[in-house]
Amino acid sequence: MRSIILVILSCAVLAALPTGAHAGRIFGDISFGGKPVAAGVKIKVNRPGSNAVDDTTVTDKFGSFKLTVKEEGKAMLTVLYEGKPLDLAVFSNKEAARYDLVVEKKDGKLTVRRK
């Protein structure tokens, strides 16, 4: 009887502990010149002012990506395109957020913006 109560209490405590509920997903597609970027473009996301990276990934053959941000709020998404880091402020929340991005070349300089 005591072991059953202990198991029930343990389950209740574990259910009450915070989990990844504060984490948010960021996903989308990246294009350049109206076409998807090549597979393997590196992307990372981290909190502003922090060197710790929350998540990294690479694009698939359709230019798509998926990242997980540990906490809700503002984050910095970095796309490493042609060896150059392109930064964009993003926001994560409990719901998944779609960020379709466009890499552009203006005055010989690469930039990234939301579509």
Q: Give, for 83, the enclosing helix (H) or strand (E).
A: none
CA quadruple 18, 74, 67, 19: dihedral, nearest 10: 0
Interval 59-112: pLDDT, tens: 999 999 999 988 888 999 999 999 999 999 999 888 999 999 999 998 989 999
* 15: pLDDT strictly greater than 80: no
What pTM, to 2 d.p., does this model score? 0.76
How many angstroms separate the CA atoms of 35 and 75, rounded? 26
Report residue 56's pLDDT band, with 50, 70 and 90 as the boundaries. Answer: very high
Query: What's the confidence (pLDDT) of residue 102?
Result: 97
Could you tell me which of 72, 59, 26, 30 has the C-alpha nearest to residue 45?
A: 26
